[in-house]
Amino acid sequence: MKQIVVIGGGAAGMMAAICASGEGSHVTLLEKNEKLGKKLYITGKGRCNVTNDCDTETLLSHVVTNRKFLYSAFYGFTSQDMKAFLTDGGLKLKTERGNRVFPASDHASDVIACLSRMLSENHVEVRLGETVSEIRTEEEDGGEKKRVAGVRTAGGKEYAADAVIVATGGLSYPATGSTGDGYRFAKEAGHQVTELSPALVPFETEGDWAGRLAGLSLRNVRVSIYDGKKCLFEEFGEMLFTHWGVSGPAVLSGSSMAAGRIRKKPLLLSIDLKPALTEEQLDHRILKDFEQAKNKQFKNSLDALYPARLIPVMVERSGIPGEKRVHEISRSERAALVRLTKAFPLTLTGLRDFREAIITQGGVKVQEINPATMESKYVRGLYFAGEVLDVDAFTGGYNLQIAWSTGYAAGKSAGADEGL
């Protein structure tokens, strides 16, 4: 019976272990934490957005980095396959806005409990509190190639293995155990690791505008990120002002597109507060509001247009004196208010760090990995799955589907490979 070691008990690692054992191998899952799925517990604000209920081409279209690499993995194990996998495991699911799939209970713990049952049913040997310090390899074919021999833990324990699957995650949320161990293992095996950045992470902004609005959430807005005149990203949805910048679903996805550029120079965030209206329609709407409030001061005439906390900032940034009577506002001043409403600008100066990032952008160079099996092209029997790879996607369940699909491919291949 083949001996397989999986390093990391997160989404990709648990999937890989279940699939490898299903192929008839003996699987040992080594997890450094005191419990499995520690990062899964906090995904989706503790609800765990397990996947996105869309077709495979749509899944691929939401991948930011190395989309083509995931083609085989996504078609080999689709989001529909993942839903069936969990449902067959006894977990009830529901689909919400944006095709996001959650456990019906709204508890991430139920997803982990379901996967834990499957590990047990498949006789996977789970070892908690085990930190792997080294992947052992040996030469073959007269020293021209290397193959996996096993792993050694920080406590000095050795596990012999015909295959090792590295599913250690990235650098995001380091408190959950994501400390970059897999990158070191990859480098020691001769692999390149691309530049690592926090992704799906809030932005920091220039000045105190965002801080003055901290805690204010805006729904149904369109956010756009520009590098000069080039639009890098555009998304309709929800955003949040924070003490140091901006966050929220629409903004987080933008961070994945901007990560490389914002390290070099500031970028522009433009917020369309009324995306359903053209400038002409918005001007007509404002004119109508102004006619009804013509004797009011400008600062007291905007209640129907903006959230209360946003009004003082809009007044200040419009350049129109707050005490000015509405009937005294000129056409050019009104036009300035329209432009500000359709393109409220903030200067993005940087990203928050890995402690606040949902995922890591960058990882093991995928050109050195077999996309159908997730096996290293350099070391026979060495596999990589999940966030440790240089692949990432937008929010909405897509990153977890990457974990499930790559974990499935690695586990199936390692477990079934008769050549090991």
What is the per-residue pLDDT for 222? Answer: 98
Residues paired with 140 in a beta bridge:
145
Confidence of residue 24 (pLDDT cuts 50, 70, 90): very high
DSSP annotation of 298: G
- Which secondary structure element, helix H or strand E, spans residue 153, and what is its range? strand 145-153
Residues 6+ apart with CB under 8 A from 8: 30, 31, 166, 167, 168, 169, 182, 386
242: nearest Cα among 341, 133, 352, 339: 352
Beta-strand runs (E) in 172-301: 197-199, 203-205, 217-227, 230-241, 245-247, 267-272
Can you name the CATH fold of 3-197+359-416?
FAD/NAD(P)-binding domain (3.50.50)
Report pTM: 0.92
What's 364's DSSP letter? B
Domain parsing of the chain, residue ranges: 3-197+359-416, 202-352
pLDDT in tens, 26-49: 999 999 999 999 999 999 889 999
What is the chain's mean pLDDT, rounded?
A: 96
Asked if 358 contacts 201 with a C-beta cutoff of 8 angstroms, the reply is yes
Residue 96 backbone zone (phi > 0: left; psi -120 to 50: alpha; other: beta): beta
Confidence band of 70 (pLDDT split at 50, 70, 90): very high
- pLDDT tens digits, one per residue of 150-203: 999 999 999 999 999 999 999 998 888 888 999 999 999 999 999 999 999 999
- Phi/psi for 417 (5° steps) reads -70, 105
Residue 345: which region, alpha, beta or left (left: phi > 0; alpha: psi -120 to 50)? beta
249-299 pLDDT per residue, tens = 999 999 999 988 998 999 999 999 999 999 999 999 999 999 999 999 999
Give the pair of three-digit tokens for residue 351. 């990203």
Identify the band that residue 410 occupies on the pLDDT scale cut at 50, 70 and 90: very high
Phi then psi dihedrals of residue 403, to 5 deg: -60, -50
- Quick check: helix, strand or coil at residue 79? helix
Q: What's the rounded Cα separation, in Å, for the pair 20 and 41?
A: 24
The size of the chain, in residues, is 420
* Side-chain half-sphere exposure of 368, counting CA atoms within 13 A: 20
The pLDDT value given to residue 417: 62
Dmax over Cα atoms in the chain, in whole Å? 91
How confident is the model over 101-127, as a mean pLDDT?
98
Percentage, residues of the chain above pLDDT 70:
99
As given in the structure block, the two tokens for residue 252 are 């987080």
Q: Tens digit of pLDDT for each residue in 342-391?
A: 999 999 999 999 999 999 999 999 999 999 999 999 999 999 999 999 99
Lookup: tokens for 223: 């956010």
Per-residue confidence band for 419, with pLDDT thresholds at 50, 70 and 90: low
pLDDT at 385: 99
Angle, helices 398-416 vs 79-88, to 10°: value is 80
Residue percentage of the chain with pLDDT more than 90? 94
Residue 107 and residue 52 in contact, taking contact as beta carbons nearer than 8 Å: no
> What is the C-alpha to C-alpha distance for residues 69 and 84, in angstroms, rounded to an integer?
24
Instruction: Kindly give, in sequence order, each residue whose CB lies less than 8 Å from that of residue 41, ignoring residues fewer than 6 positions away.
Output: 48, 108, 109, 112
- Residues 122-158 have pLDDT tens digits of 999 999 999 999 999 999 877 778 999 999 999 999 9
Q: According to the model, what pLDDT value does residue 73 have?
A: 99
Q: Quick one: 190 exposed, middle or buried, by C-beta within 10 A (0-12, 13-18, 19+)? A: middle
CA-CA-CA-CA torsion for 280, 285, 286, 289, nearest 10 degrees? 160
Has residue 204 got a pLDDT over 90?
yes
